[in-house]
Amino acid sequence: MEKREILHPLVVRVCHWVHAACIVLLILTGFQMRFTEALRMFSFTSSVKVHNFCGFLVLFTFLILWGYYVLSGKFLKVYVPRSEDFKKVPIYANYYFIRYFFGEPHPFTPKPDDKFNSLQKITYFMLMFLLLPLQILTGLFLWDPLAFKEVITFFGGIKVIAAVHLLLAYTFFAFVLAHIYLATLGHTFFSHFKAMILGYED
């Protein structure tokens, strides 16, 4: 029996799906809190509780994920883009938006220690290690404004923090839509989904 190569280890898959569920709930509850009369899925109080719980769960699983990649020595290989990655961005952008629709094969084959093409690597690095930490920090500031009063004042006040948090939320919402679309572009419609559930692609 042929041994399948695990592309996504169990810890990565679990954190991924926890993040996926939490981000959907964070978007819904955040929308509910900001536009209280629009969605009506939860009460305002329930929205705050669910939002805070999901926020801390994302923080916890993010630290687990970050720790796994650092301790396994895969962080630099998997996530940190190199100079040549920036030069290859047009190749992959051209594939996703043009060449894919003409049936051309993907120009990149993922491996356990090299899972992302150049466009993915740059995008995920910015999201996971720049924008997500900033979103978590602004979320913490909004969670307890009194405890972080001096920091909030230093950065321009609670309205500035709330605006940054909201803009980042819109960014993550756009990313989720793009991520779902790109996940369907494997050699079959569900191959990337299968890889993130079972750990491997056929």
DSSP 125-154: HHIIIIIHHHHHHHHHHHH-TTTTHHHHHH
Amino acid 3: pLDDT: 60
Show me where the domains of the chain are located. Answer: 9-76, 79-95+116-197
* Strand, coil or helix: 114: strand
pLDDT tens, residue by residue, 79-135: 999 999 999 999 999 998 899 888 888 888 888 888 899 999 999 999 988 999 999
And the tokens for 88? Answer: 């290859």
Q: pTM of the predicted model, to two decimals?
A: 0.86
And the tokens for 149? Answer: 């009063």
Q: With b meaning 16 or more CB within 10 Å and e meaning fewer, what string describes 102-133? A: eeeeeebebeeeebbbbbbbbbbbebbeebbe
Of 58, 61, 53, nearest to 135 by C-alpha is 58
Amino acid making up residue 200:
Y
